[in-house]
Structure 1
Amino acid sequence: MSANSMNAKVTWVEGMTFVATSGSGHQVVMDGDSPGKAPSPMEMVLMSAGSCASVDVVSILQKAKQNFQRCYCELSGTRADSVPKVFTDIHLEFVVVGTDINEKHVERAVKLSADKYCSVAKMLEASVNITHSYRIESPQQDD
């Protein structure tokens, strides 16, 4: 198998519950029922987009030596009304929590993730309207 190829296996468990095993040996449970016992495949797509973009944003902010304690991505997705209920719109909002955060670095990190690095979002943007925003918050007393 080449360095650019991946593989996975999805195994039915019961009902509409499946276990997906990645080629690297990691497992994730998914459920096609709504609500199910685990995330649905479409929820996994949404979470994958947020995870992929977050890796980029955190990596870029770390390289820029930004003093952040937390970074998270809040996602919202809108799906088509009829089958197949594909995503029509996905919005990613990055929240960076820290002190003395330079907004230009956050803006740059989000832009680079959106325009260049996030392979999941780049793949989806051919058919999904993907938008991004960010906000910077100061740590609270209990952070």
Structure 2
Amino acid sequence: MKAAELYDTDFSEWSFRNAELLRSGQFDEADLEHIAEEIEDLGKSRRRVLESAVIQILMHLLKYEKQPAKRSRSWLASIAKQRVKIRRVVRESPSLRPQLPEMLTECYPDAVKVASIETGIATAEFPEVCPFTLEMLLDDEFPPT
């Protein structure tokens, strides 16, 4: 079976076969179109990891502000974990760092939706525009405890 045919029938075998073909310089036999697609998807997945971490931090910061009586160490721990994740991804893929400000704006509405569900507070009660800066998002001393 040709390498390209394996893509839809046995992805694992497709991966190993194409890696072998590339390493041995048999580029004409390799499934270059799908390889290029998978490489692009890898880059997109790193961005999705960052977006997820940004949403989690924003959601917890919103809850932290709106529900001071319910503040917990678990919220702060979750924020800390997501900051670690962001730092690792940016260290491994520095080209994503300049995209963080845009992500903050793009992810804020999703964070509001999740915070609304978790708190029972209507989305209209949250600020329309993200009240947090990127610096705040990444600052280990924010929010002050």
TM over 0.5: no
Of structures 1 and 2, the one scoring higher in RCO (CA 8 A, sep 6+) is 2
Question: For the superposition of Structure 1 and Structure 2, which TM-score range results when normalised by the shorter chain?
Answer: 0.3 to 0.5
The structure that has the greater radius of gyration is 2
TM-score by length of 2: 0.34
Hey, which of these two has a bigger chunk of strand by percent? 1
TM-score by length of 1: 0.35
